[in-house]
Amino acid sequence: MEFGEAKVDFEGDADQVFESTVSFLSQIYPNLEILQKIVYTPDLTRLVKKVAGLVEITPEGPVIVSGVDLSARMVICLVLLGVHIGSRLGRLSKDSLPLGDLSKLTGKAKKTISNELPRLIGEGLVEKTIEVEYRLTTLGIRKTEETIELCRLK
């Protein structure tokens, strides 16, 4: 059995191997628990709960729920978060959007979107793909998640 740099071989009957495995995992577990506290991994279930009421996933892409008044920056991040969620759920074929689709789905002019994207890219929140599409980075997912929490507190 291997976990990172830790490697161990077990021999014996089923009970002995089971006990040895449990012992090995018990030694590794504290390290896993510590890592979970400092490593951000987007949790799909948590993200879905947070965007509920703000974003809806349609076959055409994520749609911002009407009546929500947000800045262009936040709308871009929410739509791209919706694309990320939609692709992870298997409802959308990819996790990125071209500028035109981003404009349509956000309801913002292409000029507004094209002015905001370089700032988001510069901050490491959005990345441009080889296909000239845009997606949220892991940092972008985290920051959007934080912004949603702050908006909900107001």
78 and 131: one domain? yes
Q: Does 30 share its domain with 75?
A: no
Looking at residue 138, its pLDDT comes to 93
pLDDT for res 11:
82
* Pair (21, 57) in one structural domain: no
CATH of the domain at 87: 1.10.10.10
- pTM value is 0.76
Q: How far apart are CA 108 and CA 123, in angstroms?
A: 21
Overall number of domains in the chain: 2
Among candidates 108, 113, 147, which has minimal Cα distance to 133?
113
110 plus 135 within the same structural domain? yes
In the prediction, which pLDDT does 75 show? 92
Q: Which domain holds residue 29?
A: 2-38
Residues 102, 79: Cα–Cα separation, whole Å: 8
Q: Residue 66's pLDDT is what?
A: 67
pLDDT of residue 115: 96
11 and 57 housed in the same domain? no
Q: In the chain, which stretches have pLDDT less than 50?
A: none
Answer for the pair 24, 35: CB distance below 8 angstroms, yes or no: no
What pLDDT sits at residue 79? 94
For 22-61, give one letter per residue: b (16+ CB within 10 A) or e.
eebeeeeeeeeeeeeeeeeeeeeeebeebbeebbebeeeb
